[in-house]
């Protein structure tokens, strides 16, 4: 009985060791490999704002490299902290993307200058998969993968023009990895200069957007925030306090130059109208956070809606 128990323990140890070896092998097989551009160490892309004014923005982008995972005969590549192209069946090449603050204008011109590049041989970039029921399905455009050309074939573009209140913005996408499936070759750009000029300008490149200043500062690389945000700990009102308005004329409430400007809206039940607690909250937001606070009654909103029906 003792001998059988010992043998069972030895067998379990062998099984456990086998499972551990398989798991380690799987981990190694799918480990990320760092592919350096121009001998640079591992890291994320970095930018340096050279100019940013109402007519022109210029910044230089440095890309140290990318990571690669071997998936069968393909290389699945990506650049840390950035995204990838998702055209199903076409190469899933990395995209370096930034949101840029711009003035209100008619159009934006983009100029991209390539400063440094390298050629990487024996690379076969994985095709962007199709998603079915929340799962990836391998899909390849065989016609393209048998074409002797580089993808995507252009280095940069402007997309997603929009605005946060009065602050206009646009996204710039840079494609630092150009892949040729027939040559199984990648041209990788490690340094890029980006210039943007504005036509028909009618505003400033940095507009005051109230409580969204901190949001714009965190999301747009050339927006210089005054720190105003919706946090109770920002303290911006110490040097620039806001205002408090108890409003009954809802038609005068708007976000533009006409009417009452509002950073922070309090909607209260009629029974709390001109209530010390509501007033205390409003004054806190105005004097501590720097918000322009507007207080309205729920009953006035209901009456306005019913009057429009």
**Domains contained in the chain, CATH given:** 29-199 (2.60.40.3800), 235-308 (no CATH)
Q: Taken in order 84, 65, 25, 179, is the CA torsion positive or negative?
A: positive
Supply the pLDDT for residue 290.
85
Burial label for 222, CB within 10 Å (0-12, 13-18, 19+), is buried
Q: How far apart are CA 20 and CA 54, in angstroms?
A: 60
Cα end-to-end span (Å), the chain: 88
What are 140's two structure tokens?
């390849």
- The count of other CB atoms within 10 Å of the CB of residue 237 is 18
Per-residue model confidence as pLDDT tens for the chain (309 residues): 444 544 554 454 454 444 444 443 443 445 789 999 988 789 999 999 999 999 999 999 999 999 999 999 999 999 999 999 999 999 999 999 999 999 999 999 999 999 999 999 999 999 999 999 999 999 999 999 999 999 999 999 999 899 998 999 999 999 999 999 999 999 999 999 999 999 999 989 999 887 788 889 999 999 998 777 777 667 777 888 889 999 988 887 754 455 677 888 999 999 998 889 999 999 988 988 888 899 999 999 998 888 776
Long-range contacts of 82-88 (CB under 8 A, 24+ apart): 82/44, 82/45, 84/128, 85/128, 85/152, 85/175, 86/128, 87/128, 88/127, 88/128, 88/129, 88/130, 88/139, 88/141
Angstrom distances, CA of residue 297 to CA of 157, 242, 267, 273: 47, 21, 6, 7
pTM over 0.85: no
What are 154's two structure tokens?
């252009």
Q: How far apart are CA 267 and CA 249, in angstroms?
A: 13
Supply the pLDDT for residue 68.
97
Supply the pLDDT for residue 123.
96
Q: What is the CB-side half-sphere exposure of residue 296 using CA atoms within 13 A?
A: 20
Supply the pLDDT for residue 19.
42
- Among all chains, which residue has been given the structure tokens 């055209």? 87
Q: How far apart are CA 106 and CA 192, in angstroms?
A: 26
Q: How far apart are CA 103 and CA 170, in angstroms?
A: 10
């Amino acid at each position: 009985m003792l001998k059988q128990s010992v043998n069972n323990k030895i067998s379990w140890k062998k099984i456990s060791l086998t499972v551990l070896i398989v798991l380690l092998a799987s981990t190694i097989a799918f480990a990320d490999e760092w592919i350096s551009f121009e001998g640079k160490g591992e890291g994320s892309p970095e930018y340096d704002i050279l100019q940013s004014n109402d007519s022109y923005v210029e910044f230089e982008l440095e890309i140290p490299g990318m990571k690669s995972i071997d998936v069968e005969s393909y290389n699945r590549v990506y650049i840390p902290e950035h995204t990838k192209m998702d055209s199903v069946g076409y190469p899933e090449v990395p995209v370096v993307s930034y949101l840029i603050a711009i003035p209100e204008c008619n159009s934006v011109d983009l100029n991209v200058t390539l400063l440094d590049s390298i050629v990487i041989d024996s690379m076969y970039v994985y095709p962007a998969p199709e998603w079915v029921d929340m799962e990836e399905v391998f899909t390849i455009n065989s016609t393209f993968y048998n074409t002797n050309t580089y993808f995507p074939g252009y280095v940069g573009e402007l997309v997603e023009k929009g605005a946060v209140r009065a602050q206009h913005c646009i996204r710039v996408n840079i494609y630092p990895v150009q892949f040729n499936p027939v040559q199984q070759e990648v041209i990788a750009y490690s340094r890029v200069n980006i210039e943007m000029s504005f036509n028909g300008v009618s505003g400033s490149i940095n507009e005051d957007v109230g409580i969204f200043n901190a949001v714009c500062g965190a999301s747009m690389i050339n927006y210089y925030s005054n720190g105003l945000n919706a946090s109770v700990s920002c303290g911006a009102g110490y040097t620039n306090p806001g205002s408090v308005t108890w409003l009954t004329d809802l038609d005068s409430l708007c976000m533009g130059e006409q009417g009452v400007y509002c950073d922070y809206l309090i909607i209260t039940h009629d029974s709390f109208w001109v209530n010390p607690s509501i007033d205390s909250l409003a004054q806190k937001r105005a004097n501590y956070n720097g918000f322009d606070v507007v207080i309205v009654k729920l009953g006035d909103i209901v009456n306005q809606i019913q009057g429009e029906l």
